[in-house]
Structure 1
Amino acid sequence: MPSRRRTLLKVIILGDSGVGKTSLMNQYVNRKFSNQYKATIGADFLTKEVQFEDRLFTLQIWDTAGQERFQSLGVAFYRGADCCVLVYDVNSMKSFDNLNNWREEFLIQASPSDPENFPFVVLGNKVDVDGGNSRVVSEKKARAWCASKGNIPYFETSAKEGINVEEAFQCIAKNALKSGEEEEIYLPDTIDVASSSQQRSTGCEC
């Protein structure tokens, strides 16, 4: 039997603390939302398998801490990324204003081979809050910023309601795929007994 082949795509989610990075990741991977998330310490990641054109890809999504005291951990986590997701809260102008800082920080830390064309995706999260009445960042303003940075794809999302989350991550996966820095993973059809228990423990129920 031929080996099955998967490609690992590494995605980094950046943005201020409290904008909903963890919630977005969990809504996409596990289809769950919780109000009980604690602030991410350092970084954490989840994986989800996605299929494009009869090929199987493993999306490895890194959720990073928004607090400044953890930003020094960035280099190790950012390196090798295939796409960077910038998240802000549409109800917080400060979180939107900080998108530029996160973008610059990523480019410095990750040192992508082609920074001008590295794929970013911007998510304006929490559009559900107060029925949209507490919103302070307009869609027009956000789209103008994305256009000024090389036409970055933009989605308005609600991790709580699941609005646009699937669509946004499909775009993220496609952009990660285009970046071309793929890492092939070869999975044999037979798995030795010693490693099978370890594989089960690290597997992701999607």
Structure 2
Amino acid sequence: MDEKRYKLKIIIIGDYAVGKTSLLSGYIDKQFTSDYKPTLGCNILKKEFQGEKISVGMNFWDLAGQELFRTLQSAYFEGANGVMIVYDVTRPETYENLSVWYSDYLDKGTNKDAPGIIIGNKIDLERKVSEEQGKEFADKINYYFIETSALENRNVTEAFQYLIEKIIPKS
């Protein structure tokens, strides 16, 4: 039987300093970097998975959260197979901006039916946004919801695994 091959494009969006790059580093490299360096434009990280009858090439597009880079988004959103929208549970304004990020994706993305996930990050710190608030927003837009700690590598793999499994058809 022939091997099934998939090439995925997953975009990761949200305000600056919510931990998008740290989540990716935790998933791909299994490490956390506390040294914050803002993403400029877009950073693309790759991960390969080779199974018995499946090969998956994943390209993760880590988009800058600063307003300055918003005009470039439509090019980055094009052809995404999945979307991760991240907020920081310690900064309520990042939660409030989820609807802006979601609307931007709907307005500029070419695959509006792509599965999505809302991620509340930094649960290792004192929260100002409740888990219920995150779930409520995710339910409203029909996205999956999970809370993570990039620092403690808590639920990081699970978040990525969930989305990847939603994208790749079961066979």
What is the TM-score with the length of structure 1 in the denominator? 0.77
The 2-side partners of 1:51 and 1:175 are apart by 18
* Per-residue deviation, 1:52: 6.4
The answer to whether residue 163 in structure 2 is matched with residue 176 in structure 1 is: no
Q: Does 1:144 align with 2:136?
A: yes
Q: Does 2:162 correspond to 1:165?
A: no
Offset from partner CA, 1:148-172 (integer Å, 9 cap, x none): 112x111110111100001110011
Name which one, 1 or 2, has greater alpha-carbon Rg: 1
Distance apart, 1:32 and its partner CA: 1.1
CA distance in 2, matches of 1:69, 1:53: 44
Deviation at 1:118, TM superposition (A): 2.8
Kindly provide the CA deviation profile for residues 63-122 of structure 1, in whole angstroms up to 9, marking residues without a partner as x: 00000010111111110100010000011110001001001101111132xx3x331111
User: In the aligned structure 1, how far is the partner of 2:15 from the partner of 2:67?
Assistant: 9
- Amino acid corresponding to residue 91 of structure 1 in structure 2: T
The runs of at least 4 consecutive aligned structure 1 residues that moved more than 2 Å come to 2-6, 50-54, 175-178
For 1:87 and 1:26, the matched residues in 2 are separated by 14
Q: Which amino acid aligns with 2:154?
A: I
In the other structure, the counterpart of 2:119 is 123
| Number of equivalenced pairs | 169
Aligned partner of residue 77 in structure 1, secondary structure: helix
Please report how far the alpha carbon of residue 13 of structure 1 lies from its aligned counterpart in structure 2 after TM superposition.
0.2
Q: Does 1:155 align with 2:146?
A: yes
| Residue 64 (str. 1) matches residue 63 (str. 2) | yes
Cα distance in 2 between the residues matched to 1:52 and 1:108? 36
Q: Is the 8 A contact 1:82 1:177 kept in 2?
A: no
Q: In the aligned structure 1, how far is the partner of 2:87 from the partner of 2:77?
A: 19
- TM-score (norm. length: structure 2): 0.92
Gaps of 5+ in 1: 179-206
Corresponding residue for residue 37 of structure 1: 36
